[in-house]
């Protein structure tokens, strides 16, 4: 009899009791949601390839990952324990593909619960091509000038060549690999430097240590004329506009052409150095390339800077130069 009474009490007003239970569950659910926090991090994107194929188009080097969970738990996760991967190994023919970004938890990220992980972008479009490789020469890149009266006689590079590898279309376009700029300013004797190689295309890899030894032989040259503080003229400036100080200066090195007997130069002839300002229509600051014309019987050994910044003003009224 008592069991029937207990059952009757439980079943009495059962719709209201069910609604109350659902409401309690919803409240608990929303409470749990309010306890969760977001933590955005940036994760390197690891690309896995298979066979003889490699990426042939640019792709993001990192992705944005959002961790959602309890504050204490998500901030205890080391960023390197969230691994983002773009797996290209299943694709066996050239072409573009849209590949999902896969997320893997390791280390401190294991066992964290609750933990929601969102990644942006969720997938990446990337093209793949056959891998190609070949050997190309190394070319030095120089910056500045050796001391006045000297010149570069020759240079030696060890190793002189480097192997490059990557997508066939990109590898075919690379004829040589440049070094980082080698500073020549003030040099008056032979010197050797270790210089890093510069990648022309991030999709193309360089073999070896990524650097070379460059030996530069510097010789005295009696025939070189150096003008260290030469005036740079302004050509084509529109009427009503003037050049404001400071006026641009440049350095130029000249050498007599073999077999010619040019006149001696105490100073540069007018028009040797100038910039073309014919496109300037308003006052302001402009970066313009320097044009160099060798005087009769001479050739240009070098000049710097390649570009000067000038200020253009309207009319007169301050120290200006037309």
pLDDT in tens, 8-43: 655 556 566 566 666 556 555 554 555 678 989 999
pLDDT at 311: 93
Residue that finishes a domain, picked among 173, 205, 220: 220
pLDDT in tens, 164-181: 999 999 999 999 999 999
Residue that finishes a domain, picked among 220, 241, 260: 220
Residue that finishes a domain, picked among 82, 110, 129: 129
- Residue at 320 is within a domain: no
44 lies in the same domain as 117: yes
- Residue at 319 is within a domain: no
57 lies in the same domain as 135: no
- Residue at 258 is within a domain: yes
CATH number at residue 138: 2.170.120.40
**Residues spanned by the domain of 233:** 225-314
- Residue at 249 is within a domain: yes
Q: Say if CB 230 and CB 268 are below 8 A apart.
A: yes
137 lies in the same domain as 194: yes
Q: What is the mean pLDDT of residues 185-197?
A: 91
214 lies in the same domain as 237: no
Q: How many distinct structural domains can be found in the chain?
A: 4
84 lies in the same domain as 101: yes
- Residue at 321 is within a domain: no
Picking from 193, 157, 191, the residue whose alpha carbon sits closest to that of residue 177 is: 157
48 lies in the same domain as 107: yes
pLDDT in tens, 47-99: 988 778 999 999 999 999 999 988 888 888 899 999 999 999 888 888 999 99
Strand partners, 63: 43
Percent of the chain with pLDDT over 90: 51
267 lies in the same domain as 287: yes
- Residue at 47 is within a domain: yes
208 lies in the same domain as 155: yes
Tokens standing for residue 85: 């991967």
pLDDT in tens, 216-268: 998 766 677 888 889 999 999 998 899 999 899 999 988 888 777 777 778 88
244 lies in the same domain as 306: yes
Which H, E and C letters describe the chain, residue by residue?
A: CHHHHHHHHHHCCHHHHHHHHHHHHHHHHHHHHHHEEEEEEEEEEEEECCCCEEECCCCCCEEEEEEEEEHHHHCCCCHHHEEEEEECCCCCCCEEEEEECEEEECHHHCCCCCEEEEEECCEEEEEEEEEEEEEEEEEEEEECCCCCCEEEEEEEEECCEEEEEEEHHHHHHCCCEEEEEEECCCCCCCEEEEEEECCCCCCCEECCCCEEEEEEEEEECCCCEEEEEEECEEECCCCCEEEECCCCEEEEEEEECCCCCCCCCCCCCCCCEEEECCCCCCCEEEEEECEECCCCCEEEEEEECCEEEEEEEECCCCCCEC
- Residue at 103 is within a domain: yes
20 lies in the same domain as 51: no
pLDDT in tens, 124-160: 999 999 999 999 999 999 998 887 667 788 999 999 9
214 lies in the same domain as 238: no
121 lies in the same domain as 46: yes
CATH number at residue 117: 2.170.120.30
């Amino acid at each position: 009899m008592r069991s029937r009474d207990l059952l009757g009490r439980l079943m009495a007003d059962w719709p209201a009791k069910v609604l109350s239970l659902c409401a309690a569950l919803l409240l608990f659910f929303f409470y749990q949601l309010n306890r969760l926090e977001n933590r955005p991090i940036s994760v390197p994107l690891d690309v896995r390839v298979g066979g003889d194929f490699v990426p042939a188009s640019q792709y993001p080097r990192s992705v944005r990952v959002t961790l959602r969970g309890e504050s204490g738990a998500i901030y205890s996760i080391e960023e390197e324990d969230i691994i983002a991967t773009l797996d290209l190994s299943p694709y066996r023919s050239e072409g573009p593909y849209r590949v999902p970004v896969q997320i893997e938890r390791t280390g401190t990220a294991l066992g964290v619960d609750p933990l929601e992980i969102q990644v942006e972008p969720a997938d990446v479009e990337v093209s793949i091509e056959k891998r190609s490789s070949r050997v190309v020469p190394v070319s030095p890149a120089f910056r500045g000038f050796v001391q006045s009266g000297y010149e570069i006689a020759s240079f030696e590079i060890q190793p002189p060549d480097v192997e490059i590898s990557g997508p066939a279309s990109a590898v075919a376009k690379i004829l040589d690999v440049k070094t980082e700029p080698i500073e020549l300013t003030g040099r008056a004797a032979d010197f050797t430097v270790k210089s890093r190689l510069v990648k022309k295309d991030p999709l193309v890899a360089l073999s070896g240590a990524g650097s070379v030894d460059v030996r530069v032989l510097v010789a005295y040259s009696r025939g070189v004329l150096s003008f260290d503080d030469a005036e740079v003229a302004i050509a084509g400036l529109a009427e009503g506009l003037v050049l404001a100080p400071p006026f641009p200066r440049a350095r130029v090195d000249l050498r007599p052409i073999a077999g010619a007997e040019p006149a001696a130069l105490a100073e540069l002839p007018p028009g040797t150095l100038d910039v073309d300002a014919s496109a300037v229509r308003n006052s302001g600051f402009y970066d313009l390339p320097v044009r160099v014309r060798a005087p009769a019987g001479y050739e240009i050994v070098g000049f710097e800077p390649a570009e000067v910044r000038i200020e253009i003003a309207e009319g007169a009224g301050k120290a200006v130069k037309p």
